[in-house]
Structure 1
Amino acid sequence: MTISLREVSQKILGYVSLTFLGYFTIGLSLATLPIFIHQTLGFNTIIAGLVISVQYIATFLLRGYAGKIVDTKGPKISVLRSMLFFALSGLLLLLVFLFRSQPLLSLGLLLITRLFTGIGEGLVGASPINWALMELGDEHAAKAISFNGIASYGALAIGAPLGVLMVNHINYEALALLTSAVGLLGYFYCRTKTPYQVARKKAEKVSFKRVLLLVAPFGICLALGGLGFGSISTFMTLYYEHFNWQNGAACLTIFGVFFILTRLIFNKVIDQYGGLKVALVSLFVETLGLTVIAVAMDPLWTLLGAALTGFGFSLVFPALGVEAIKRVDQSQQGSALAAYGLFIDISLGITGPLIGFVANNMGMTAIYPFSTIMVSIGFAVVGNLLYQKRRELTP
């Protein structure tokens, strides 16, 4: 039966709405926790970065497990479990805020909270994408990956400033309760979805390590590009505080808005020009955006840099992801997307302590020049991959 493009989009949106709910719980505390750790609890930027990064380390460790669940039992189980962990993270976050008068206890509880959040992110990860591909087919991979990214970064762009507003105008505890409530909403919404019965053709068994090696060239480029987003999401609020500027969370919102608009407007360019070409241009634009932030002496220029960074980073994940899943058999796509997603987890996991170290030893103003250099290396690596591909195709 032929299905229209509109119906395809509607079905994909039905699945990636689960991604939105999961990442909305992450976004709520994203801009508030660095300041809470640094100013309320009194720990330095390195500690703040390390605590934030615990989430991404947990996500990294869960990707392979989630991919295996998707390939063997279907994505619904993985998503249901993720939502329960998001709900639990909200309850733990409530304890973190209630015990803020005891910094070490609060920090210890926050570490566990970030661990639970990371487990939730690792389980939801690529599961909605796989759910969509299982129903609609691999020919819609670029659209499914793009829509999933819109859902995740859109959720962060909405959740981060909302979290700041709640802290400023209500209290920390309200933010924690909302986090838990959204996690429960996601759980019960997921239960209404029809589970997909995995019944694909048998293929030669490939270990997750082997799949990881197959997608690694593209994942490394993704990881380098992810440093730009990581430096904005984790440290922009502290960066604004350093210059006595107001509303640092606006940068994450601007980043998210341009990220989403780019995917909506340019959603067909990957199919037209190929993943590597699109990734090359995208990383160049992201490098340009980070350069603007690095030299900006005014918050308006910083917002412009964040917009360019979001515009550039937007298509990096789907562009390289489409290339990555071409390396494996259809029956290993869940594992391939999970393995590919590991690299953004590594990137964001490293970003916190690495950028925190740079800020602590070289000053806040060194954050974005450093990030610019890292992303430009990713640009160079993609250029090399494109050059090698052209050589292979040339008779």
Structure 2
Amino acid sequence: MGLALSALPPVLQARWSLSVTTIGWIMGTQSVATLLSRLHAGRLSDRLGGDRALTLGLSAAVLSGLCYVAVILPIWSRPIALALVFLGRLFMGLSEGLMVTGGAVRIIGAVPPDRIGAGMSWLGLAMFAGLAAGTAAGAVIEQNASFDTVAIMASILPVAGMLLSGWSLHPASHSAAHGAVPWKQLFRMVLPMGLLLALSSVGFATISSFLVLAFAQEHWVSGGYALAAFCVGHVAARFAGSHRIDHYPVAISGSVMLLTETLGFVMVWLAPDPGVAIAGAFIGGAGFSLTYPVFAIPLLPAQP
């Protein structure tokens, strides 16, 4: 995911002279696909277990990379090439929805009840460490080699993940002892915390879609590194706070995270130079880091 986040927007602008708005729509397709896939990913995880959802998510990531590989071939017309890019973003959104949901289900079933928040934090830490490495690597590869290499790597890495994990060979059993919850009741339960998560995620969606282009518009050459700084801040906050969030009220820890995130994004907005913008991206990533486990913990069922 990280490889394409930093490398794809400049390619879209250079090869097809697309406007910033059009590129934003294409990049934002991933978030839309993630949103639409989350409910199905949750049902799949409940029925087949988190391991199987993770495996399917990695498979969708492979398909996303293969779409980018296909775009490289000089046989497509402009509309078909852009349709392949669009399809690649859809597959990556599906991948994100499956992996985040499946990973969370697996963590909930694998750690003690009083450490679920920490376990979910470590899951997110691993994902955003990959994003940080991927965005930096994508920027370097695209600048020094080509997008072709980025596309090939984006196809191979998820396959390596499946081979190393062995998830597809050992699907975990899953208990449905709690039974089904009516849809209306479930919606009322998740609405307050869901709204907070939605608001906290707006900044991440904006950063991932437009930060690299904003740097290019200012003629700053470090857009990919700014995106990596956001991910590094996310990882750093997970390291510093993952073992503590289970011990503070949601109102306190959630407010601290949201205010920190706001400060970072204001710094990016008002940045007079790339250094300040990169620092703001780091702080924004740190603030966004723990919002998911903090606001998700109250939604977990009571443990005996």
Do 1:160 and 1:253's aligned partners in 2 also have CA atoms closer than 8 Å? yes
**Equivalent residue for 1:392?**
none
Aligned equivalent of 2:28, options 36, 48, 53: 53
Q: Could you tell me which amino acid in structure 2 is paired with residue 280 of structure 1?
A: S
Structure 2 counterpart of 1:173? 148
Residue 65 in 1 paired to residue 40 in 2?
yes
Give 5+ residue unaligned stretches, structure 1.
1-25, 331-395
Q: Which of the residues 17, 24, 36 maps onto 1:42?
A: 17
Structure 1 pair 100–304 and aligned structure 2 pair: CA distance change class (3 A): farther
**Partner residue, 1:87:** 62
Task: After superposition, give the CA deviation of every residue in 1:136-164 in whole Å (9 maximum; x if it has no partner).
Answer: 24322101211111112211111012112
Deviation of residue 31 (structure 1)?
1.2
Q: Distance in 1 between matches of 2:69 and 2:176?
A: 43
| 2:159 equivalent among 178, 184, 206 | 184
Root mean square deviation of aligned Cα: 2.0
The aligned counterpart of 2:174 is 198
2:115–2:246 Cα contact (<8 Å) kept: no
How many positions carry a matched residue from both structures?
302
Whole-angstrom CA distance in 2 between matches of 1:70 and 1:101? 37
Distance 1:178 1:223 in 2: 31
Separation of aligned partners in 2, 1:202 and 1:286 = 36
Distance 1:321 1:202 in 2: 18
Per-residue deviation, 1:188: 2.1
Paired with 1:76 and 1:208, the residues of 2 have a C-alpha distance of 25
**For 1:125, what is the secondary structure of its paired residue?**
helix
Counterpart residue type for residue 198 of structure 1 = H
Go from structure 1 to structure 2 and tell me whether the alpha carbon gap of 1:269 and 1:254 turns closer, same or farther (over 3 Å shift). Answer: same
Normalising by structure 1, what TM-score?
Answer: 0.72
Aligned residue number for residue 301 of structure 1: 276
Deviation at 1:297, TM superposition (A): 0.8
1:306-339 Cα deviation digits (max 9, x unpaired)? 12212211111111111232xx577xxxxxxxxx
Shift of 1:34: 1.8
Q: Is the 8 A contact 2:128 2:231 kept in 1?
A: yes
Question: 2 CA distance for matches of 1:257 and 1:169?
Answer: 23
- The runs of 5 or more residues in structure 2 that have no matched partner are none
Cα distance between partner residues in 1 of 2:182 and 2:195: 20
Render the CA deviation track for 1:207-262: whole Å, top value 9, x for unaligned. 34542331121111111111222222221111111111121111112111121111
Calculate the TM-score normalised by the size of structure 2. Answer: 0.92
CA distance in 1: counterparts of 2:186 and 2:39, whole angstroms:
10
What is the rounded CA distance, in whole Å, between the counterparts of 1:169 and 1:256 in structure 2? 22
Q: State the secondary structure of the residue aligned to 1:32.
A: helix
- State the identity as a percent: 27
Offset from partner CA, 1:323-364 (integer Å, 9 cap, x none): 232xx577xxxxxxxxxxxxxxxxxxxxxxxxxxxxxxxxxx
Q: Which moved more, 1:192-201 or 1:69-78?
A: 192-201
Cα offset, 1:101, TM superposition: 7.6
Q: After the TM superposition, which residues 202-217 of structure 1 pair with which residues of structure 2 at under 5 Å, given as runs?
A: 202-203=178-179, 205-208=180-183, 210-217=185-192
Tell me which amino acid in the other structure corresponds to 1:158: A
Which residue of 310, 313, 327 maps to 2:285? 310
